[in-house]
């Protein structure tokens, strides 16, 4: 039983929940099962969707009380005490009923104007990525999921980089027809270009300039859980090999763990930022063993003061982050054109997602677990970096490729 659901029911009489189904329940007669299960969900003026509908004044009202995400195989909706009890009692079809914790963007710790004066950014050089480019490994043919504030497709670094784009409204409904790629903030353009930015004027900010992005606006504002789940479901349907997300919720909340596990089952590598709240803290889902979690280092290889890290009482991956990557003074694309530098684990995460895209091009038959293992084996921890802060250390792109090529 989820304590958060119990608290929500006690406070308002309703709760937003995520429902995991037993294997095979929705096969063949999925619509019939969903109609039957849908009776346990309720519409309520007290729900976030109800409040959003009243505040926006939009016609049509909120979405149905239950939404099904076909590629993830889960449902999200609002229940009262009776509906919650009924779902938990339906042991033939329902595996678990989870709370729906509120996700938020992992905001940069610092943003400054910048000029791109070097051939490659320091982060690309630090990971020795150009050595793979020289061998023709640029991420070509690999699709990377990018769930963020969007991405400015008009920026020269992102022209031709975005294969698919969509946005999810405040209720988590996909906006149709999909708009042209744009950014509701500036965070998404920065992270997108770090993953797959194209060369501009002979200079590069993108780790995997041959890869393409499936980018979606999922944050901030509105029903964030519905928006992020909608984005994840859409990205899985697009066929991504890697999913880069610089968002989460503070602390360890295990209710979202099954979603991360589902990504693994779909052979997708989830690369998540660990957070910017410093030692002894972390963000979920980045702090799950099923995620590849990323902390931040500066140009000297030192762990950034803000980079989150935490030890857990579990046998597997007891320390987060799994590794650290360039996340201080990272120059990347700015919406509307030009460049800017940002600090944060949000900036480190797309570096690792880009390296994963390079490896998937080199070994298209590789599994997500194999690519992760190769990246881990390539890591070295510099002197003076305690394992509690940097864990495995900093990845090295050519060594990761060598490790992957050895796997069969």
Which residues are marked as active site? 148, 187, 346
- Report the run of H or E that residue 356 belongs to, with start and end: helix 345-362
Nearest to 277 by CA among 134, 397, 106: 106
Tokens of 319: 């320390």
Q: With contact defined as beta carbons under 8 Å apart, do 108 and 342 qualify?
A: yes
How far is the C-alpha of 255 from the C-alpha of 16, rounded, in Å? Answer: 12
Provide the edge-to-edge strand list for the sheet that holds 330-333: 110-114, 339-343, 330-333
Give me the helices (H) in 90-223, please.
122-126, 130-134, 187-196
- Report the run of H or E that residue 145 belongs to, with start and end: strand 143-148
What letter would DSSP give residue 221?
Answer: S
Give bridge partners of residue 310 from the DSSP assignment. 320
Most distant CA atoms of the chain, gap in Å:
62
How far is the C-alpha of 375 from the C-alpha of 362, rounded, in Å? Answer: 13
How far is the C-alpha of 346 from the C-alpha of 240, rounded, in Å? Answer: 20
- Number of neighbours of residue 119 by Cβ within 10 angstroms: 12
Pairing outcome for strands 14-21 and 74-80: antiparallel
């Amino acid at each position: 039983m989820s304590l958060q659901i119990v608290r929500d029911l006690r406070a308002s009489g309703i709760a937003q929940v995520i429902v995991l189904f037993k294997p095979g329940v929705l096969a063949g007669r999925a619509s019939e099962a969903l109609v039957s299960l849908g009776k346990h969900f309720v519409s309520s003026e007290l729900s976030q969707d109800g409040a959003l509908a009243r505040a926006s004044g939009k016609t049509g009202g909120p979405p149905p009380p239950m939404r099904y995400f076909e590629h993830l195989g889960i449902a999200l909706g609002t229940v009262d005490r009776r509906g919650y009890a009924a779902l938990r009692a339906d042991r033939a079809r329902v595996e678990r009923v989870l709370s729906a914790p509120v996700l938020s963007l992992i905001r940069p710790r610092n943003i400054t104007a910048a000029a791109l004066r070097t051939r490659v950014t320091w982060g690309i050089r630090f990971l020795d990525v150009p050595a793979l480019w020289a061998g023709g490994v640029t991420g070509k043919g690999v699709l990377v999921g990018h769930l963020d504030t969007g991405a400015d497709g008009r920026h020269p670094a992102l022209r031709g980089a975005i294969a698919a784009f969509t946005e999810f409204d405040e209720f988590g409904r996909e906006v149709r027809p999909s708009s042209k790629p744009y950014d509701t903030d500036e965070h998404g353009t920065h992270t997108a270009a770090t993953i797959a930015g194209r060369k501009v004027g002979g200079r590069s900010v993108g780790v995997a300039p041959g890869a393409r992005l499936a980018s979606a606006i999922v944050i901030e504002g509105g029903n964030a859980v519905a928006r992020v789940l909608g984005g994840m479901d859409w990205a899985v349907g697009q066929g991504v090999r890697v999913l880069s997300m610089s968002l989460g919720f503070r602390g360890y909340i295990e209710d979202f763990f099954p979603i991360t596990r589902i990504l693994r089952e779909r052979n997708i590598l989830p690369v998540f930022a660990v957070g910017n709240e410093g030692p002894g803290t972390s963000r979920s889902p980045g702090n799950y063993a099923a995620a590849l979690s990323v902390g931040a280092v500066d140009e000297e290889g030192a762990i950034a003061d803000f980079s989150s890290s935490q030890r857990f009482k579990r046998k597997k991956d007891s320390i987060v982050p799994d590794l650290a990557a360039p996340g201080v003074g990272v120059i990347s694309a700015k919406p509307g054109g030009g460049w800017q530098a940002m600090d944060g684990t949000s900036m480190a995460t797309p570096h690792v997602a880009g390296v994963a895209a390079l490896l998937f091009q080199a070994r298209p038959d590789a599994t997500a677990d194999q690519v992760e293992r190769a990246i881990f084996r390539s890591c070295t921890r510099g002197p003076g970096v305690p394992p509690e802060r940097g864990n495995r250390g900093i990845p090295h792109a050519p060594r990761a490729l060598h490790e992957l090529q050895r796997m069969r």
